[in-house]
Amino acid sequence: MKVLFAGGGTGGHLYPAIAMAEELRKLVPDVGISFAGTTGGIEAIEVPRLGFRLHLIPVRGLKRGHSLADLMDNVGVLADFAAALVRAVNLVRREAPDVVVGTGGFVSAPLLFAAQLLGKKTLIQEQNAFPGITTKLLATLATEVHLAFDEARRFIMKKQNVFVSGNPARSFELLDSSVARARFGFREKRPTLLVFGGSRGARSINNAVLQRLEEITASSNLVWQTGALDFESIKCRVSPSPYLWLAPYIEDMEAAYSAADLVLCRAGASSIAELSNLGKPSVLVPYPYATGDHQRHNARALVMHEAAMVVEDDRLGEDASSTTILELLHDTVRLEKMGAASRKLAHPDASRQLARQIIILAEKY
């Protein structure tokens, strides 16, 4: 059995593919797995590091602006896509995969389309509540489409063989909260706020936390991942506190989630999957420049089920928003309700279920 994964550019598109690939290895040890990606995406480093073969396809995405420069650039993008499609057809013929899995990113479009032209079985895994352009265009020809959010169905023209399977995400086991707090040096049983914005951080979140830091640590514990870009500048402005743990990156996310009573973060698909799988209440701050504004759609899906609240990026530093977050952190009844609602949206076995579905497709003639 051979499976070709097409996706990357960002971790949000790549890591679901890796999660499925690793589950496939467990279920079918002799499975042949390869990835298609670009030189500029995270996959160029991560895929070889994890021991998978990587095929590079030069391709770039369309500009979304309407200026003359953007329109002219898109002419070149379409020419590049045609060349990428030829390369993709040759790759699919050479590799002869039983199934091609697309998880988004620039490279997934030519690979999925090439596979569909050649009559190969294709599975699309869409992470966001607002599907990407590749999903919307190629879903009709796909063998199966798997969504993370039921809210995404209305954007998909295909109605048969469309499933809500959740997002393949990192797996964590919740620890005893006191044990988890102790790993961050916290001795008192206080409400704990976990803040992160990704490996590079989120400046608006960091600035808002810095602005209200004394108020937060006056009554709460704070686990704060600043990201690499802002860490040194923040470290210089913060005094040591027994109620503050500060670092550019959190290695032990299992302990961080376990210690947290409330999570403040962006609304990326992977983060939302982890929050739901663990039943954690959250305050989501959608990244305002995300493609298609998909983070706002992701956040809205949780808010509709009362599993999270949303604060807009440009309002995060306002006193009213900060006060609302602090009040929520100390409202144990509401936090319990939000956590229970979050847990109802969970798909903790998404990676394995999707891997099994790939196997079923591969075995169909």
pLDDT in tens, 45-60: 999 999 999 999 987 5
- DSSP for residue 321: H
Q: What is the pLDDT of residue 69?
A: 44
Q: What is the pLDDT of residue 61?
A: 54
Q: What is the largest CA-CA distance in the chain?
A: 65
pLDDT in tens, 253-266: 999 999 999 999 99
Among left, alpha and beta (phi > 0; psi -120 to 50; other), residue 110 is alpha
- Asked whether the predicted pLDDT for residue 322 surpasses 70, the reply is yes
Mean pLDDT, residues 161-177: 93
What is the CA angle 350-352-355, rounded to 5?
Answer: 105
H/E element, 42: none
- Asked whether the predicted pLDDT for residue 74 surpasses 60, the reply is no
Helix axis angle, 11-27 to 269-278, nearest 10°: 50
- Asked whether the predicted pLDDT for residue 126 surpasses 90, the reply is yes
Q: What is the pLDDT of residue 200?
A: 59
Mean pLDDT, residues 134-139: 92
Mean pLDDT, residues 140-157: 95
Q: What is the pLDDT of residue 11?
A: 83
Q: What is the pLDDT of residue 217?
A: 96
pLDDT in tens, 229-255: 899 999 999 999 999 999 999 989 999
Q: What is the pLDDT of residue 181?
A: 97
- Asked whether the predicted pLDDT for residue 72 surpasses 50, the reply is no
Mean pLDDT, residues 179-183: 96
Q: What is the pLDDT of residue 148?
A: 95
pLDDT band at 75 (very low <50, low <70, confident <90, very high): very low
Which of 164-173, 196-205, 301-310, 313-322 holds the top average pLDDT? 301-310
Length of the chain measured in residues: 365
Mean pLDDT, residues 3-10: 92
Q: What is the distance between the alpha carbons of residues 255 and 173, in angstroms, rounded to a whole number?
A: 9
Q: What is the distance between the alpha carbons of residues 353 and 67, in angstroms, rounded to a whole number?
A: 44
In sequence order, what DSSP letters do the residues of 43-112 get, joined into one string? HHHHHHHTT-EEEE----PPP---SHHHHHHHHHHHHHHHHHHHHHHHHHHHH--SEEEEEESTTHHHHH
Q: What is the pLDDT of residue 262?
A: 98
Q: What is the pLDDT of residue 67?
A: 46
Lowest-pLDDT choice from 112-121, 258-267, 298-307, 312-321 = 312-321
Strand, coil or helix: 314: helix
Q: What is the pLDDT of residue 70?
A: 44
Strand, coil or helix: 185: coil
pLDDT band at 365 (very low <50, low <70, confident <90, very high): low
Q: What is the pLDDT of residue 77?
A: 53
Q: What is the distance between the alpha carbons of residues 139 and 353, in angstroms, rounded to a whole number?
A: 20
Nearest to 20 by CA among 197, 31, 183: 31
- Asked whether the predicted pLDDT for residue 277 surpasses 80, the reply is yes
- DSSP for residue 251: S
Lowest-pLDDT choice from 113-117, 156-160, 300-304 = 156-160
Q: What is the distance between the alpha carbons of residues 311 and 4, in angstroms, rounded to a whole number?
A: 39
Q: What is the pLDDT of residue 242?
A: 96
Rounded to a whole number of angstroms, the CA Rg of the chain reads 21
pLDDT in tens, 87-113: 999 999 999 999 999 998 889 999 999
For residue 35, give both structure tokens. Answer: 């990835």
Q: What is the pLDDT of residue 81?
A: 78
Strand, coil or helix: 138: helix
**Average pLDDT over the chain, rounded to an integer:** 91
- Asked whether the predicted pLDDT for residue 183 surpasses 60, the reply is yes
